[in-house]
Structure 1
Amino acid sequence: CQYLTRDAFPEDHPVEQEMPGGDVLMRGGSVIIDPTGTVLAGPVFDEETILYAEIDLDVKKRSHLDFDPVGHYSRPDVFQLKVNDAPADSVSFGA
């Protein structure tokens, strides 16, 4: 997640509301986690930074065995995907 402070906004677009974190609007929390849940870098809060990590592509390949969306986890008797293809407004305003 990004780290964002009040002074990152230009004068003609000020943040006029008081935020719980004071001048920190978004406190970050960036982290890199591999598909098995191992934390590779971070988390980092309250500062701007770039995280780097060595990635093992074999871990990704092996992790496909943990979740098989078209195998025995596929339950059309329980889950369905329905797509409404009728035209609709993306935004509506009400009173």
Structure 2
Amino acid sequence: MGAGPVYGQEVVLTAEVDLAEIVRSKYDFDVAGHYSRPGIFQLTVDESPRSVVARKA
């Protein structure tokens, strides 16, 4: 379960972390399996500058 967001006030959010969950989550992403095959999975990142506001014509 996540913490937040809280709007309209200042608060301190706390959370408990189950370190065993880290080990279990590694089974969800198999880096040596089909994700490592570029013919199936490709990540493209567009780092070009963008305007914060998009205007419609």
Q: TM-score, normalised by structure 2?
A: 0.52
- Structure 1 unmatched runs, 5+: 1-38, 82-90
Bigger proportion of residues as strand: 1
Q: CA RMSD in A?
A: 2.5
Is 1:54 aligned to 2:16, yes or no? yes
Question: Which of the residues 38, 41, 64 maps onto 2:3?
Answer: 41
Aligned residues: 44
- Structure 2 unmatched runs, 5+: 50-57
Bigger proportion of residues as helix: 2
Distance 2:38 2:17 in 1: 35
Q: TM-score, normalised by structure 1?
A: 0.36
SS in 1 for 2:12: coil
Distance 2:6 2:19 in 1: 24
Task: State the percentage of identical aligned residues.
Answer: 48
SS in 2 for 1:40: coil
Runs of 4+ in 1 over 3 A off after TM superposition: none
Distance 1:43 1:75, change over 3 A: same
Equivalent residues in 2 for 1:47-86, closer than 5 Å: 47-78=9-40, 79=42
Distance 2:2 2:43 in 1: 35
